[in-house]
């Protein structure tokens, strides 16, 4: 089981399917010490990432020690990759669901998403009603969607090639459903480039290719944001490295021959503790 | 020991990075970051007002020193040290 399921799951169900983690009471709980930026745990996590990336450059000898410290301390709150199917199930549990601009793309590419047609991120829960308190965070507002619209929206984002991730803000409160890609997503990037595990947890699945149905079209290779899929010239087939796979299911939804299946991580012994 | 390039930003020549954003969009390694200097409640920061946003080199260890950002910068605010 992943650490979030151990701490916040119930009856063996996944933590993001536990209705308690969608409750509005959790939204008001803020964790972490007060800083110059306030008590927003999201900002604090950002400051931590900043410290780590800066260490790699300014203090390379200290970098492994700092990374070890961050990876080994008790983990609270996380961000996890989910396939489209699970993202839709999470949306069914949550209210309201709103499309909004992506904060990472704003930071790292100065991408301004000012209207609903350009929005890429999804906010969940009661916080979406309160966006007007922080207009700088949302820049232009949010677009509240019905469940049907949300399902369509998530499918559209999946088609575009964005990875779905469940975001929490310092605790177990399911506050967002990001649609992200490398390198513009700070979570994916700090995990892949710097090895910061609390930044992003792998999903509950990994992808596997059925070699008999695969016709080597290569569509899945372009879709992978994690560098897990490659075309193996020697054996003339597409292969997925299960250890690099984050289980986002983008390859599965794009495969025209249904040759890729998502396997539950916990049914395979060596993959059980790979998060 | 590996040496990393250092991009020096002249903030007096780069007052509105979020409005200009040429370096942010151009960089093949996406190393730049732009952030509001002060976030206020009930207020959207004006991106055209000088000094409200600041540019930084967040992922500088991924910089290849290709100098693409220097070429696109309209005010010459960036310089590179290697």
pLDDT in tens, A60-78: 899 999 999 888 877 766 7
Q: What is the DSSP letter of A89?
A: H
CB-CB under 8 Å, A134 with B39 = yes
Domain region containing B51:
6-39+46-81
In a domain, B1, yes or no: no
Give the Cα separation of B35 and B58 in Å (integer): 11
Percent of chain A scoring above 90 in pLDDT:
54
Contacts of A171 (CB under 8 A, 6+ apart): A26, A29, A31, A41, A76, A77
The Cα-based distances of A220 to A35, A243, A250 in angstroms read: 43, 17, 8
Give residue A36's pLDDT: 47
**How many Cβ pairs closer than 8 A exist between chain A and B?**
55
Partner residue opposite B30 with nearest CB, options A53, A60, A109 = A109
pLDDT value at A34 more than 70: no
Q: How many domains does chain B have?
A: 1
Query: Residues of B with CB below 8 A from A106's CB?
Result: 34
- d(CA A73, CA A66) in angstroms, rounded, equals 11
Give the closest residue to B74 by CA, choosing from B21, B33, B18, B11. Answer: B21
**A176 and A122 Cβ atoms separated by less than 8 Å:** yes
3-state secondary structure of A8: helix
Average pLDDT, chain A: 88
Contact A163, A188 (CB under 8 A): yes
By mean pLDDT, which of A27-36, A149-158, A166-175, A252-261 is the weakest? Answer: A27-36
Name which residue leads in pLDDT, A168 or A99.
Answer: A99
Residue A47 at interface with chain B, using a CB cutoff of 8 Å: no
User: Are the Cβ atoms of A136 and B33 closer than 8 angstroms?
Assistant: no
CB contact under 8 A, A136 and B17: no
Mean pLDDT throughout A34-39?
48
Of A165, A197, A244, whose CA–CA distance to A74 is shortest?
Answer: A197
pLDDT value at residue A149: 95
CATH code of residue B28 = 3.30.70.20
Contacts of A108 (CB under 8 A, 6+ apart): A183, A184, A186, B24, B30, B32, B33, B58
Question: In this model, does residue A46 exceed pLDDT 80?
Answer: no
User: Residue A8 corresponds to which tokens in the numbers above?
Assistant: 């916040």
Q: What is the pTM of this model?
A: 0.90
Q: Are A53 and A129 in contact (CB under 8 A)?
A: no
Kindly state whether residue B25 falls inside one of the protein's structural domains: yes
Highest mean predicted confidence (pLDDT) among A77-81, B35-39, B60-64: B60-64
Does a structural domain hold residue B18?
yes
């Amino acid at each position: 089981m992943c650490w979030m399921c151990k701490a916040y799951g119930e009856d063996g169900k996944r933590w993001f399917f536990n209705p308690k983690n969608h409750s509005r009471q959790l939204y008001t709980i803020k964790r972490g010490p007060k800083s110059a930026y306030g008590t927003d745990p999201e900002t604090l996590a950002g400051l931590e990432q900043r410290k780590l990336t800066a260490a790699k450059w300014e203090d390379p000898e200290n970098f492994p020690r700092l990374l070890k410290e961050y990876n080994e301390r008790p983990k609270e709150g996380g961000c996890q990759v989910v396939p489209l199917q699970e993202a839709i199930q999470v949306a069914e549990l949550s209210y309201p669901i709103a499309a909004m601009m992506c904060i990472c793309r704003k930071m790292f590419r100065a991408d301004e998403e000012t209207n609903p047609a350009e929005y890429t991120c999804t906010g969940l829960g009661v916080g979406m009603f309160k966006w007007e308190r922080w207009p700088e965070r949302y820049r232009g507002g949010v677009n509240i969607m019905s469940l049907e619209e949300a399902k369509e929206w998530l499918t559209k984002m999946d088609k575009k090639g964005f990875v779905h991730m469940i975001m929490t803000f310092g605790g177990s409160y399911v506050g967002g459903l990001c649609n992200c890609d490398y390198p513009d997503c700070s979570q994916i990037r700090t995990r892949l480039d710097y090895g910061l595990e609390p930044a992003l947890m792998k999903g509950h699945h990994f992808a596997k290719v059925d070699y008999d149905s695969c016709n080597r079209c290569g569509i899945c290779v372009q879709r992978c944001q994690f560098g897990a899929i490659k075309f193996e010239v020697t054996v003339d087939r597409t292969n997925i490295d299960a250890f690099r796979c984050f289980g986002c299911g983008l390859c599965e939804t794009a495969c025209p021959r249904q040759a890729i299946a998502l396997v539950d991580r916990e049914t395979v012994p060596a993959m059980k503790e790979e998060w | 020991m590996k040496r990393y390039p250092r991009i020096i930003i002249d903030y007096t020549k780069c007052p509105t990075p979020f409005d200009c954003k040429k370096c942010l969009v151009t960089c093949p390694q996406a190393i730049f970051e732009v952030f509001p200097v002060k976030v206020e409640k009930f207020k959207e920061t004006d991106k055209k007002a000088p000094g409200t946003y600041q540019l930084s080199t967040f992922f500088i260890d991924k910089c290849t020193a290709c100098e693409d950002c220097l070429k696109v910068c309209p005010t010459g605010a960036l310089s590179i040290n290697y």
